[in-house]
């Protein structure tokens, strides 16, 4: 088990090197001159251009820029943004916000997704099953920005239950609305996954045996049916957490959440190499850790799975 974890972590090293190299190259190859763009419609003097290119090491060949970045990582220096801020402090201020947002969305989608999915699976073909299925279909078919705008309009202008955008320091309360938006798409997926999985498990022999032994529904459903149905759902939720950590660009933009997605989007637009690569590096790291956690959770959910190597 410990060996297994060790090897998985060892695998992470080449993955990280590969992704950073790739991303750095892509940022490098992006069209346009980020320094010129800093001046808007005005044109800087050649001496100014030269001085700024030098400051951000933009006149060095690609491989030198990349090695400089890699070297910096080991001394905790990820470079600076064009506004002169260390990238590391940008990471420190944005990741917690996105993490809180993701957590809210995660709790919502897990509770509602698994709850409704279980209900729907147990009452297969019934009225509640049909209603839940139709509801999830509706959620899947709506693009996330439509949901965001509609909820923002209904819940802030019409009823002022929430603030339209996130306030100072992105407190938990303000993140609930974007959290709901972020959760909607995944809720539908989780409902459907849980439902299918529950129906499949209900047909298994061990469920019949459990009932045959005289166990109550209150015992059979959570312990025998639900737990055995959760493996695909957990996999989905795990990857979804990864996606939410990196990809809430649209939602964060609409609600002005000072998180990872919004910041990364701006950095990409400005061709801010060090910021983009640092963010992606942390994201890859998060993905790897989350995937490892999911694999470990399998063993908890299903005792037949063991990691011996």
Partner 1 sequence: MKLNRIGVGAIALAAASALVLTGCSTSGDNNGSGSGDGAGIVTANGSEPQNGLVPTNTNETGGGRIVTSLFSGLVSYDAKGKPRMDVAKSIESSDSQNYTVTLNDDRVFSNGEKVTASSFVDAWNWAAQVSNKQNNSSFFEDIQGYNADADSPLTGLKVVSDTEFTITLNQPVSDFELRLGYSAYVPLPKDATKDITAFGEHPIGNGPYKLDGDKAWTHKERIKLVKNDTYKGPREAKNKGLTIVFYSDLGGAYADLRSNNLDVLDAIPDADLASFQKDLGDRAINQPAAIFQSFTIPERLAHFSGEEGELRRAAISHAINRDQVTKVIFSDTRTPAHDFTSPVIDGYSKDVEGSDVLNFDEKKAKELWAQADAISPWSGTFQIGYNADGGHAGWVDAVTNQIKNVLGIDASGAPVPVFSAFRQEVVNESIQTAFRTGWQGDYPGLYNFLAPLYATGASSNDGKYSNPQVDALLKEGLAATSIEDANKKFQEAQTILFKDLPAIPLWYSTVNGGYSNKVSDVVFGWNSQPIYEDIVKK
Give CA separation, 256 vs 178, 211, 240, in Å. Answer: 10, 52, 21
Contacting partner 1 within 273-302 (CB under 8 A) = 289, 293, 296-297, 299-300
Least separation in angstroms between residue 13's CB and partner 1 is 19
Give CA separation, 130 vs 118, 197, 202, 206, 297, in Å. Answer: 13, 17, 19, 27, 31
What number of other Cβ atoms are within 10 A of residue 109's Cβ? 27
Q: Is 67 in the site for partner 1 (CB under 8 A)?
A: no
Q: What string of DSSP letters covers 48-98?
A: HHHHHHHHTTTTS-HHHHHHHHHHHHHTT---B-TTS-BHHHHHHHHHHHH
Least separation in angstroms between residue 89's CB and partner 1 is 7
Q: Is 111 in the site for partner 1 (CB under 8 A)?
A: no
Least separation in angstroms between residue 120's CB and partner 1 is 27
Out of 14, 29, 32, 75, the only residue in the binding site for partner 1 (CB under 8 A) is 32
Helix axis angle, 172-202 to 127-141, nearest 10°: 130
Out of 47, 75, 127, 134, the only residue in the binding site for partner 1 (CB under 8 A) is 47
Out of 72, 115, 247, 258, the only residue in the binding site for partner 1 (CB under 8 A) is 258
Give CA separation, 205 vs 117, 139, 196, 210, 284, in Å. Answer: 21, 34, 17, 9, 41
Closest CB to partner 1 among residues 11, 43: 43
- Size of residue set near partner 1 by CB under 8 A: 73
Q: Is 99 in the site for partner 1 (CB under 8 A)?
A: yes
Q: Pull the structure tokens for residue 260.
A: 């990872």
The stretch near partner 1 (CB under 8 A) out of 9-17, 30-38, 115-123, 214-222 is: 30-38
The stretch near partner 1 (CB under 8 A) out of 12-20, 128-136, 218-226, 247-255 is: 247-255
Q: Is 144 in the site for partner 1 (CB under 8 A)?
A: no
Q: What string of DSSP letters covers 3-14?
A: HHHHHHHHHHHH
Out of 140, 163, 231, 285, the only residue in the binding site for partner 1 (CB under 8 A) is 163
Least separation in angstroms between residue 242's CB and partner 1 is 12
Helix axis angle, 87-122 to 260-269, nearest 10°: 130
Out of 7, 17, 63, 96, the only residue in the binding site for partner 1 (CB under 8 A) is 96
């Amino acid at each position: 088990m410990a060996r297994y974890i060790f090897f998985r972590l060892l695998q992470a090293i080449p993955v990280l090197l590969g992704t950073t190299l790739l991303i750095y190259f892509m940022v490098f190859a992006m069209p346009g001159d980020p320094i010129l763009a800093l001046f808007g419609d005005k044109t800087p003097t050649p001496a100014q251009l030269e001085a700024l290119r030098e400051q951000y090491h933009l006149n060095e060949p690609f491989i030198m820029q990349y090695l400089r970045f890699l070297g910096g990582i080991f001394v905790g220096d990820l470079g600076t943004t064009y506004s002169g801020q260390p990238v590391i402090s940008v990471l420190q201020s944005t990741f917690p916000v996105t993490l809180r947002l993701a957590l809210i969305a995660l709790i919502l989608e897990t509770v509602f997704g698994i709850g409704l999915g279980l209900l729907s699976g147990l009452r297969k073909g019934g009225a509640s099953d049909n209603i839940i299925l139709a509801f999830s279909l509706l959620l899947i078919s709506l693009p996330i920005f439509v949901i965001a705008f509609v909820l923002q309009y209904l819940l802030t202008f019409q009823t002022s239950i929430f603030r339209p955008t996130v306030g100072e320091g992105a407190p938990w309360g303000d993140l609930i609305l974007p959290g709901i938006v972020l959760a909607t798409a995944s809720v539908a997926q989780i409902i459907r996954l849980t439902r299918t999985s529950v129906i499949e498990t209900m047909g298994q022999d061990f469920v019949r045996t459990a009932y045959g032994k005289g166990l109550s529904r209150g015992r059979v459903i959570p312990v025998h049916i639900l737990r055995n149905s959760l493996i695909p759902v957990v996999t989905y939720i795990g990857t979804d957490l990864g996606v939410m950590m990196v990809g809430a660009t649209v939602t964060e933009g609409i609600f002005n959440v000072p998180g990872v997605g919004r910041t990364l989007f701006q950095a990409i637009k400005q061709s801010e190499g060090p910021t983009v690569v640092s963010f992606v590096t942390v994201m890859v790291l998060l993905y790897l850790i989350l995937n490892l956690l999911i694999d470990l959770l399998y063993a908890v959910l299903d005792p037949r799975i063991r990691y011996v190597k």
